[in-house]
Structures are given as structure tokens and as C-alpha cells.
């Protein structure tokens, strides 16, 4: 009996935003929406909830670099998406590789998730994340992601 393939929904996972004053931006976004500060490492803060279903704002302090052009520009710096299955992650990896836009793929925080990195045709960093159902996210997961920000945004 044939079955219809039901696509798993995609969702935005996070955005990386370069800011000129990290403390001011944290206060603003916490006031603006339902964002708690879940991790902070050096010049990077992660705002959201300790859940794989939470949208996360990643704020990167660019104090002293208020330029609007190039690597150190202000504003949106990358986009990450939750994907529903490993099969979907495999499909996306194939598309990125076919177009020469694949960067890397790795497990994060002892297998809590699998992360696929690539870029769009305009060189915007893209992330695609699949989460296991049997593991819980914690602050260590977000610290790992915060440390990846520097390589993803390079």
C-alpha cells in the first residue's frame, strides 16, 4: 500500500546579529520578546530557551567595529534552520555539495544534535540542525554553538 511522504516542517533555529553594545542589545531583546539569556561566552550571547524548539538570537559584540560593510558588518550574519530528520539533513548536504556550497557537518554536545554548515550563493552562512529526541539540551550545548559562531561567521 503506497504511503505519501509527509515533509517535516522547517523552522528558523537562530540568527546571528552583530551588535555594537552587547549589554544594551541583550536588554533590548529580553524586553522585546520571550528571550532568556541561556549562555554567554566572551563577546557572544545566546538568547532563547533551553529547548530544541526555541528560536535563538545569537548576539555578537562588534564594539569598536561599527562599519556597515564586509566581514565585521552590523545586522544579520547567518541563518540556521531546524530540519525534521537525518534524511532531510542528508538531502540538504547533497544539494550544497552539488553547488559547491557545503562547509562542514558535525555532531554537537555528545550527539544532542547534528549540524550541517554551508553558504548561500551570496556567501551568507547557513546552518541546518537535526536534534535527537532522547537527549536534553543544556548550557553546554549553547556554549559549543557560541564557540562555533566565530568559524561560521568567518
What is the average per-residue pLDDT within 34-38?
89
Q: Which residues contact 110 (CB under 8 A, 6 or more apart)?
A: 135
Q: Which residues contact 53 (CB under 8 A, 6 or more apart)?
A: 11, 82
Q: How confident is the prediction for the chain on average, in pLDDT?
A: 82
Q: What is the pLDDT of residue 6?
A: 67
Sheet of 11-19, strands arranged across: 36-41, 44-48, 56-61, 11-19, 75-82, 125-131, 113-119, 102-108
pLDDT tens digits, one per residue of 102-139: 999 999 888 888 999 998 887 878 888 998 887 788 88
Q: What is the C-alpha separation between 120 and 94, in angstroms, rounded?
A: 14
Q: What is the pLDDT of residue 89?
A: 93
What is the average per-residue pLDDT within 76-98?
88
Q: What is the pLDDT of residue 135?
A: 77
Q: What is the C-alpha separation between 38 and 13, in angstroms, rounded?
A: 14
Phi, psi angles (nearest 5°) of residue 143: -65, -40
Q: What is the C-alpha separation between 42 and 110, in angstroms, rounded?
A: 23
**What's the pTM value of the predicted model, to 2 decimals?**
0.66
Q: Which residues contact 132 (CB under 8 A, 6 or more apart)?
A: 111, 112, 113
pLDDT tens digits, one per residue of 57-69: 899 988 765 554 5
Q: What's the length of the chain?
A: 154
Amino acid at each position: 500500500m503506497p504511503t505519501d511522504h509527509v515533509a517535516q516542517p522547517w523552522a528558523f533555529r537562530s540568527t546571528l546579529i552583530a551588535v555594537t553594545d552587547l549589554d544594551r542589545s541583550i536588554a533590548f531583546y529580553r524586553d522585546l520578546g520571550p528571550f532568556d539569556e541561556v549562555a554567554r561566552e566572551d563577546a557572544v550571547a545566546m538568547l532563547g530557551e533551553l529547548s530544541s524548539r526555541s528560536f535563538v538570537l545569537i548576539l555578537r559584540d562588534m564594539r569598536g567595529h561599527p562599519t556597515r560593510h564586509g566581514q565585521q558588518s552590523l545586522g544579520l550574519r547567518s541563518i540556521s534552520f531546524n530540519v525534521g530528520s537525518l534524511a532531510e539533513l542528508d538531502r540538504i548536504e547533497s544539494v550544497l555539495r552539488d553547488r559547491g556550497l557545503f562547509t562542514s557537518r558535525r555532531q554537537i554536545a555528545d550527539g544532542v544534535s547534528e549540524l550541517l554548515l554551508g553558504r548561500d550563493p551570496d556567501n551568507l552562512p547557513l546552518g541546518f540542525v537535526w536534534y535527537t529526541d532522547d537527549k536534553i539540551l543544556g548550557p553546554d550545548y549553547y556554549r559549543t554553538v557560541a564557540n562555533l559562531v566565530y568559524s561560521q561567521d568567518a
